[in-house]
Amino acid sequence: MEAMAASLPEFLKKIKGRGQGFYEVLDDTKTADSIEVFAKKTSGRYEKIVVLGIGGSALGTKCLQQALLPLFKMRGNMAANVADKATTPAATMGPIPQLHVLDNIDPTLLRDLDATLDLKKTLFIVVSKSGDTIETLAQYFYFQKRVQEVGLKEADHFVFITDADKGLLREIAAKNPNIQTFEVPKNVGGRFSVLTPVSLVPAALMGLDIRQLLHGAQMMRDVFLNLDAEKNLCFQLAAIQYLLGQKGKTINVFMPYSSHLIGFTEWVTQLLAESIGKALNEKGERVNVGLTPLRAVGATDQHAQSQLFHEGPNDKLIVFFEIENFGEPLAIPNPYPDHPAVSFLKNATFDQLLKTEKQGTEQSLIECDRPNITIRLDCLDEASLGGLFMLFEGATAFLAEFYGINAFDQPGVERSKRLGREILKYI
């Protein structure tokens, strides 16, 4: 690791030279202001918000929803929930609408969602950086027609998040300037766009504190730019992933001991797979590199995948996520304190049980010579999640430099898109 530390300044220089703005957009206060104004203006108008998007246009929002909006339910007037955060925009907002993220074109899913919607009280957020994403356009065309059929104005029920200058969505917005439109920065790729309007707009509409999201990311951004390898957690994480990958640990298992971080594992799966899985390096040499992400959740997968992790092929790095503070402790009643099956519970709480099961899994993996690391969060809130996003975006950027590849393109994906469009011509 010490020998690799010398690469840090060079890697940072290369990353900055790529012109990627995922760590710079955090300072765009003007856009944050406009998002908050829009959220306040529309407060109370809609019962449901539907995000139409796929991949990076949806996964960040799904993560925020699952992590910070318990049980996917309306939380009523947010003032009671955020009384201790008087500056939070949500504190002045009305009832929070339900959020649905439609990230697939399964017709059954489309029909099922449509059947639940009161279109007069629904806002659709159409998200596509290119403005030409075929799956998203298909969803948009469907609901555009449905809104027109019931005599509603499109501008009252659609928001576009897309490129500033090009793409079909931008063309439609130019012809209908009353449609609220937010821009995806040109220098931020889809899978790195969670801290842009792509996810900040739905987050604000859900009453989340986007300033704290950005603040947490800014704090980690300072770590990402630190030239001291001992303090640069992003560089350290990438170095661990790379070194173990070189030793045959080419599967990264992301295993949070929190159900609220399942959505994060979906987001980081795309980030790692699409950024690092490349056929050619920057010299044009065929290398076919990559780390395969695998999702798990504790304690559920102790009873599902853990057997494979312990005794199957030793080709995995287990990345645990642990939350220190789950809020008010939830006691486990024990009506059988003398029974050997449960006597050890004593006065245990659910968070204590979850943490000790994680410790047991961690220790048993060490005994089996299976590498694992733990990323700990003090609590799960907007700031900590913003920092977590930035930690993995920064680590992924460094990881690509270790491999000598470009983290910010996706030629394999683009090829499949082109072929799909060609096939559609013959239907």
Enclosing H/E stretch for 375: strand 372-377
* Number of Cβ within a 10 Å radius of residue 163: 18
Indicate if 30 belongs to the active site. no
Catalytic, out of 41, 283, 303, 425? 303
Catalytic, out of 135, 274, 393, 401? 274
Kindly state the tokens that stand for 132: 């030409």
Enclosing H/E stretch for 140: helix 134-149
Length of the chain: 427
Bridge partners, 280 (sequence order): 286
**Tokens 């899913």 label which residue?**
109
Which residue type sits at 231? K
The full DSSP string for 308-348 is HHHHS-S-EEEEEEEES--SS--B---S-TTSTTTGGGTT-
Indicate if 157 belongs to the active site. no
Q: Is 209 exposed, middle or buried (0-12, 13-18, 19+ CB in 10 A)?
A: buried
Among candidates 278, 288, 291, which has minimal Cα distance to 252? Answer: 291
Cα separation, 197 vs 210, in Å, equals 10
Kindly state the tokens that stand for 410: 């996706």
Kindly state the tokens that stand for 408: 């910010």
CA atoms within 13 A on the CB side of 302: 17
Can you tell me whether residue 171 is helix, strand or coil? helix
Produce one character per residue of 37-57: b if its CB has 16 or more CB atoms within 10 Å, e if not: ebbeebbeebebbbbbbbbbb
Catalytic, out of 14, 85, 120, 417? 417
Contact 349, 333 (CB under 8 A): no
Q: Can you point out the beta strands (E) in 43-200?
A: 48-52, 98-102, 122-128, 158-162, 180-183
Kindly state the tokens that stand for 63: 């993560």
Cα separation, 84 vs 209, in Å, equals 13
Indicate if 417 belongs to the active site. yes
**Tokens 């407060």 label which residue?**
43
Can you tell me whether residue 356 is helix, strand or coil? helix
Active site residues: 274, 303, 417
